[in-house]
Structure 1
Amino acid sequence: MDLFAAMQTFVRVVEAGSFTRAAETLGSSRTRVTQQVQQLEAHLQVRLLNRTTRQVQVTADGAAYYDRCLGVLAAVDDAETGLSVATRTPRGRLRVDVPSPLARLILIPALPDFFERYPDIQLELGVSDRQVDLIGDNVDCVIRGGPIREQYLVARPLGALQLGCYAAPAYLAAQGVPVHPADLAETPHRVVRFLWGRGKGFPYALQRGAERLELQGRHSLEVDDGNACLAAGQAGLGVVCLPHYLAAEAVDRGELVRLFADWQVASLPLYLAFAPNRHVSAKLRVFIDWVTVVVAERAWLETPGER
């Protein structure tokens, strides 16, 4: 038995909550993962996990051993990366999850610079607007727009996304141009509803002087992805609320028109978050520092048409 590999597998099973999910994140088979944990229990002569048909529960001994394993794995990572840090070459696999529009327009175009600096890092980039479980999905860090609801996460603010309301010229020609945000609550207008978190519609707040309201309107379409929301707006399916940076190219091409320019939509904070009980490795530290600079260099407060 490879004791170190077995410890890594045991930690993954505890964090994932199942052998199947742990196997998926490790790129292994459920049978192999089960064997490694069984061999580890035989080696230690103690039961680490209670298995049922539906779930895996950690025993008291297993919980104590899990904490010890985290310390050992962190120490090994420090030992392995200590030399690479000295030579400025952090190495290893890094799992990051980011919103799809941010990946497409900002992060991926900037990655050649990252890999030129850190050629020994292998980046596994999850691209979606879903809110992943950092521990269960074995993700090192995430970039998210909006408040971080998981209180246990360490969140570093990266900036704020400025938002606006947009619609396609064809939609406005067919349904009329709304003069006031409250007009969207009236027939025949429709909005494309953006789903946030657990299927809840995102509450867009608008303000003009002392006037404040929440964007309301009928919807025929709900999406949980920023690129899909953009495409829906371009297709004339309704009024959409988008970050200015995401809408900019469509505005320049005449595919979208900004609405309510005299109203301010509450900005969306952008965070990088990671689990505090995870070891912040050299590769994660350099990625955090790099992406912080990449975001800071972008004109997040810029409005399309004012460039």
Structure 2
Amino acid sequence: MTFDGRLLGGIGVMSAVVEAGSFARAGDAIGLTQPAVSRAVARLEERIGIRIFNRSARAISLTDEGRLFYEMVVPLLSGIEEAAAVAAAAKVRVRGRLRINVDATFGHYVLAPRLQEFLDRYPELSVELFVRDAIGDFVGEAMDVAVRFGEVDAHAVQAELLLETRVLTCASPEYLATHGTPLAPQDLTKGHRCILIRDPATGRPFEWEFQRVGETVPFTPESRLLVNDTGGLVGACMGAAGVAQLLELYARDILASGRVVHLLPQWSDETFPLYAYHRAARLMPAKVEAFLDFVREIIA
């Protein structure tokens, strides 16, 4: 069905005239001049093929046909106003279904352990969590929000940088007891094993480098172990398989527990970005705004 917005606009003007009792007062109420109100009513009369108002020098009144038409459309106008009010309330109320797109690193290590806390906070909200290698068709799959590590996807919707987390070089105490503790990046070439992780965007292992103020050292690690997800990387590192580069955001708990040790801390200035993807912020639904606030809270 094709919607005629001009028809609805004319009905709104007609309703204002009935309520105000004159074209002039109706114009004042809705921000139009008296001639503009008169023209809008004339177009409406022509559009529906009836005369709506009896006009005289002193007053206006509804014709019989006009009264019948007005009585029929007033409930519809009220329904539109009610629908607008309900929609506006939904924008400020956290409810409904939230579809979230995340990469495995953020989903498994940062969000999932805290997700029940978010659900408890908003009992009228349900969540669908999609763990994906790539953001994919955000709009076509009707996603509400995505949170992903890595450089911003140029083809995605609006992106917001949430965090730059440090890249930390780590190994388990058991590994270090056997192979020794490197004191400089070049020490990793002396009998150490490194664990690499594949970049899903390129299919190649993530490159290593070491950074400190004013200095960057590229590094090509010797490796016999390549994994394709963060779980494998962390598990192999804790299992003494070698030295790994982990993101501080998800590694902080295992670092605090002593299961892995932060190596070369003076060379830990490299960072990796975390982005949120969503639609226009001006019309952001309450459920998306609430989720992003929650994410900012748990990564703080």
Measured against the shorter chain, the TM-score band is: 0.5 to 0.7
> Retained in 1: the 8 A contact 2:103–2:134?
no
SS at match of 2:265: coil
More divergent stretch after superposition (157-166 vs 113-122): 113-122
CA 1:265/1:134 → structure 2, altered by over 3 Å: closer, same or farther? farther
Match 1:229 to one of 207, 215, 233 = 233
Q: Give yes or no for contact 1:168–1:234 (8 Å, CA) kept in 2.
A: yes
Residue 93 of structure 2 is aligned to residue 89 of structure 1: yes
- Secondary structure of 2:258's counterpart equals coil
**For each residue in 1:138-180, what CA deviation from the matched residue of structure 2 results, as whole angstroms up to 9, or x when unmatched?**
5333211121133443101112212211001222222222221
1:81 to 1:165, Cα distance in 2 relative to 1, 3 A: farther
What is the percentage of aligned positions where both structures have the same residue? Answer: 26
| Residue 249 of structure 1 pairs with residue 253 of structure 2 | yes
The answer as to 2:294 corresponding to 1:291 is no
Matched residue SS, 2:276: strand
Q: Does structure 1 retain, via aligned residues, the 8 Å contact 2:94–2:290?
A: no
Of 80-89 and 234-243, the range deviating more from structure 2? 80-89
| 1:110 Cα deviation after fit | 3.9
1:221 is aligned with what amino acid?
L
Give the RMSD, CA atoms, in angstroms: 3.1
Q: Which residue of 2 aligns with 1:159?
A: 163
Alpha-carbon separation, structure 1, partners of 2:218 and 2:159: 27
Asked if 1:201 corresponds to 2:205, the answer is yes
1:272 aligned residue (273, 276, 297): 276
Amino acid at match of 1:295: V
1:132 maps to 135
Do the aligned residues in 1 keep the contact of 2:95 with 2:287 (CA within 8 Å)?
no
Query: In the alignment, what sits opposite 2:195?
Result: 192
| Partner-residue secondary structure (3-state), 2:223 | coil
- Tell me, yes or no, if the aligned pair for 2:93 and 2:287 is still in contact at 8 Å: no
1:7 corresponds in structure 2 to none
Kindly provide the amino acid, as one letter, of the partner of residue 97 in structure 2. Answer: R
TM-score between the two structures when normalised by the length of structure 2: 0.61
CA change 1:207–1:90 in 2 (3 A) is closer
| Change over 3 Å in CA distance of 1:137–1:194 after alignment to 2 | farther
SS at match of 2:107: helix
How far off its partner does 1:235 sit? Answer: 1.0
Higher helix share: 2
When Rg is computed on C-alpha atoms for both structures, the one with the higher figure is 2
SS class of match (1:94): strand
**Cα displacement (A) at 1:266:** 1.3
Retained in 2: the 8 A contact 1:84–1:91?
Answer: no
- Do the aligned partners of 2:195 and 2:241 also contact (CA within 8 Å) in 1? yes
Deviations 1:238-267 (A, max 9, x none): 211112232223223322111001112311
What amino acid maps onto 1:99 in structure 2?
D
Asked if 1:119 corresponds to 2:123, the answer is yes
Paired with 1:117 and 1:138, the residues of 2 have a C-alpha distance of 24
Determine if the alignment matches structure 1 residue 102 to structure 2 residue 115. Answer: no
Q: List alignment gaps of at least 5 residues for structure 2.
A: 2-81
> Judging changes above 3 Å, is the alpha-carbon distance between structure 1 residues 198 and 81 closer, same or farther for their aligned structure 2 residues?
farther
Q: Aligned partners of 2:252, 2:149: CA distance in 1, in Å?
A: 18
